[in-house]
Amino acid sequence: MSEASATDHDRVFTELRPLLFTVAYDILGSATDAEDVIHDCYLRWRAQDAGPIADPRAYLVTAVSRTGLNHLRTLRRRRETYVGNWLPEPIRTEPHRGTGDAADDVVLAESVSMAMLLVLETLSPVERTVFVLHEVFDYPHDEIAAIVDRSPATVRQIAHRARGHISARRPRAAARRPGNHDDRDRQEHELVVRFLHASRTGDLGELLSVLASDVVHMSDGGGQVTAARHALYGADRVAAFSIGLARSAMSGAHAELARFNEAPAAVFRVDDVVDSVAVFDCRDDHIVGVYAIRNPDKLHRIDDLHRLDRGRTSPWKP
């Protein structure tokens, strides 16, 4: 490949990279594995010299989807022996207003939410890939059929089955309503500040006022650090656990407010070392989900800011 061709390939790949990362992350639920998939596809994209490609977006999304699907099959076998709760690897998503990313796209914001990613884990690898490509990225069944190596009729059946499965399990916290982003962000972060302060001060009444009655709390230590092995359900249990945690294991931690997976979050550091990231699902002025990631393998990329894209504004969209 000539130097000019290589430069043009790099330019196209760079423009499409936010879309490719979003596809891979939605399929895999892991930023680290998504980056591995993208790197592998980039090397193949850079090496190919079969003349100009009419639709780079379709070509690269297909490559990332196929590679992601194969990778997911391997990951699923590993996750079957995972110690304790498995949670997605969190991604920092400070809003890029006006870019068409998750800050401005309700469908995309839902697709990367912790709650929705956990529901996607209940699908088979093929079901998940079909659901993500069709429901999130608007790919037609005929194109998906070529990606997953199934007939269009079979893909329609898979899509129908996956959609029904997701609809039955979609958590109410995952659905986001459009509105004033700044107001929504401020209200959600105020809820988190109240939760953190009440946990530290042991204010049970205040905690119960910010937690939904059916709130869920999940911790992921990956068997490497201490974490609750089972999910906690209900405001009373989550409030008591949060107060106890703040008084013991997290008593010396400093909390930094942030946004991860297009949701309010807190990064906890102990002696300037990241201990955990807690991502909060908020709805109707209450916290309905707390997802605490402590597995060190999922924390080494937390300062990387990810731009997400569903491809709606891409110049390469067919």
Report pLDDT digits (tens) over 48-65: 765 667 788 999 999 999
pLDDT at 74: 92
Averaged confidence pLDDT in the chain: 88
| More confident site: 253 or 94 | 253
| More confident site: 312 or 289 | 289
Backbone angles phi, psi at 258, to 5 degrees: -160, -175
Q: Domain 181-298: which topology?
A: Nuclear Transport Factor 2; Chain: A, (3.10.450)
Distance from C-alpha of 31 to C-alpha of 176, rounded to nearest angstrom:
22
Q: Where do you find CATH 1.10.1740 in the chain?
A: 1-81
Distance from C-alpha of 318 to C-alpha of 297, rounded to nearest angstrom:
38
Amino acid at the residue 176: R
Q: Where do you find CATH 3.10.450.50 in the chain?
A: 181-298
Contact criterion met (CB below 8 Å) for 217 and 290: yes
- pTM value is 0.90
* pLDDT tens figures, 165-211: 999 987 664 444 445 566 778 899 999 999 999 999 999 999 999 99
Amino acid at the residue 304: D
Q: How many CB atoms lie within 10 A of CB 53?
A: 15
Radius of gyration of the chain (CA): 20
Contact criterion met (CB below 8 Å) for 293 and 87: yes
Distance from C-alpha of 136 to C-alpha of 159, rounded to nearest angstrom:
12
* pLDDT tens figures, 234-253: 999 999 999 999 998 787 88
Distance from C-alpha of 252 to C-alpha of 270, rounded to nearest angstrom:
6
Distances (CA, A) of 224 to 215, 230, 254, 277, 295: 26, 15, 21, 15, 6
* pLDDT tens figures, 271-285: 889 999 999 999 989
* pLDDT tens figures, 105-132: 888 999 999 999 999 999 999 999 999 9
| pLDDT band with cut points at 50, 70 and 90 for residue 32 | very high
Per DSSP, the residues of the chain read --HHHHHHHHHHHHHHHHHHHHHHHHHHS-HHHHHHHHHHHHHHHHH--SS--S-HHHHHHHHHHHHHHHHHHHHHHHHTT-SS---PPP-B----TTTTSGGG-HHHHHHTSHHHHHHHTTS-HHHHHHHIIIIIT---HHHHHHHHT--HHHHHHHHHHHHHHHHHH--TTT----S-HHHHHHHHHHHHHHHHHHHHHT-HHHHHHHEEEEEEEEEE-TTTS---SS-EESHHHHHHHHHHHHHTTTTT-EEEEEEETTEEEEEEEETTEEEEEEEEEEETTEEEEEEEE--GGGTTTTTPBPPP--STT-TT--
Q: Is the pLDDT of residue 38 over 60?
A: yes
User: What is the rounded average pLDDT of the residues 142-153?
Assistant: 96
Share of the chain above pLDDT 70, in %: 88
pLDDT at 314: 42
Q: Which CATH class is domain 1-81?
A: mainly alpha
| pLDDT band with cut points at 50, 70 and 90 for residue 287 | very high
Backbone angles phi, psi at 276, to 5 degrees: -165, 165
pLDDT at 274: 93
pLDDT at 148: 96
State how far Cα 56 lies from the chain centre.
25
* Strands 211-220 vs 286-293: parallel, antiparallel or unpaired: parallel
Distances (CA, A) of 43 to 13, 36, 56, 276: 11, 11, 15, 33
pLDDT at 136: 95
In DSSP terms, which residues pair with 283 in a beta bridge?
286
Q: Which token pair is 145?
A: 């059929």
- Residue whose C-alpha is closest to residue 163's, from 138, 131, 129, 133: 131
